[in-house]
Amino acid sequence: MSEASSQKMIAIEVQRYRPEQEDQPFWQTFAVPFTDDMSVLQGLQQIKDDQDGSLSFRWSCRMAICGSCGMMINGKPELSCKTFLRDLLPGPVRVEALAHFPIERDLVVSVDKFVEKLESIKPYIIPKTPRRLDEGEYLQTPEQLEQFEQYSSCINCLLCYAACPQYGLDPNFVGPAALALLHRYNADSRDGGQAERMEVVNAAEGVWSCTAVGYCSEVCPKHVDPAHAVNQNKVNSAKDYFLRFFQGDRA
């Protein structure tokens, strides 16, 4: 069978927004030829290459590693490189920018606020004690690694934020990915920065803003389970509160 005869057609409805031309987003439908091995991302690339070069979207690795091609596909937060057109037949496929984020253009959203949240949780190891190079590396057992390794798999794709109803209501909420990364460092045996990060955990926009829906973990393409990390942080927050209470009582 030739390549031409193996191609099928599917309608892709794309939410467009060009701020220099429109005040509000609008929908535009494209008829896209595809084969069974084509992803939604490749469908969008076909549109950009052959039908409308003005279509804007982010992508990089095409292998569900970089996290940059996240978007709403038929109303669900997905990585477009990991979602195949064959699974969305007969169509149409509705593609729009990630929910809960300001749209810059078409499928491109602003991630400035998310970057600020990442910076606020100090996403790096803060050593418990200073260590000279000649003292060697920080050693860790496999059991200690297991305590946080799962949360190191986050690719910052923002799907969990698009799935989070609380973030949709309150954009100041630190959110699932940042809190999962915070837990990754707090749970690391080499780290001594938990007390500094507890300010973020205990804040009004911290873990207690989470309403425990759990959809963030459901859409995570790397099975990080940010909902579990948030729940662990709630436990740590409660412990921190009572420790401060009793310490203050003794004083």
Fold of 3-109: Ubiquitin-like (UB roll) (3.10.20)
Tell me what pLDDT residue 3 has: 52
On the 0-12 / 13-18 / 19+ scale of CB atoms within 10 A, 130 is exposed
**pLDDT in the model for residue 138:** 87
The predicted pLDDT at position 180 comes to: 96
Q: What is the CA radius of gyration of the chain?
A: 22
Phi–psi pair at 139, nearest 5 degrees: -85, 155
Residue 205 CA to residue 172 CA, distance in Å, equals 6
Mean pLDDT for each 10-residue chunk of the chain (251 residues)?
Answer: 66 96 94 96 98 97 95 98 96 97 97 96 92 89 95 96 97 96 95 93 93 95 96 87 63 44
Helix (H, G, I), strand (E, B) or coil at 28: strand
Contacts of residue 179, defined as CB under 8 A and 6 or more positions apart, other chains included, come to 121, 201, 206, 207, 210, 226, 229, 230, 233
Q: Is 229 exposed, middle or buried (0-12, 13-18, 19+ CB in 10 A)?
A: buried
Domain ranges of the chain: 3-109, 112-250
Give kind and range of the element (H or E) at residue 154.
none
Q: How many CB atoms lie within 10 A of CB 204?
A: 9
Tell me what pLDDT residue 245 has.
Answer: 62
CATH architecture of 112-250: Orthogonal Bundle (1.10)
Q: Answer for the pair 154, 162: CB distance below 8 angstroms, yes or no.
A: no
CB 77, CB 219: distance < 8 Å = yes
Q: For the sheet containing 8-16, what is the strand order?
A: 26-34, 8-16, 93-96, 70-73, 76-79
State the pLDDT at residue 222.
96
Collapsed DSSP state (helix, strand, coil) of residue 39: strand
Contact (CB, 8 A) for 157 and 221: yes
d(C-alpha 66, C-alpha 79), whole Å: 10
Report the distance separating Cα 55 and Cα 52, nearest Å.
6
Residues near 52 by Cβ (< 8 Å), separated by ≥ 6? Answer: 28, 30
Beta bridge partners of 45: none
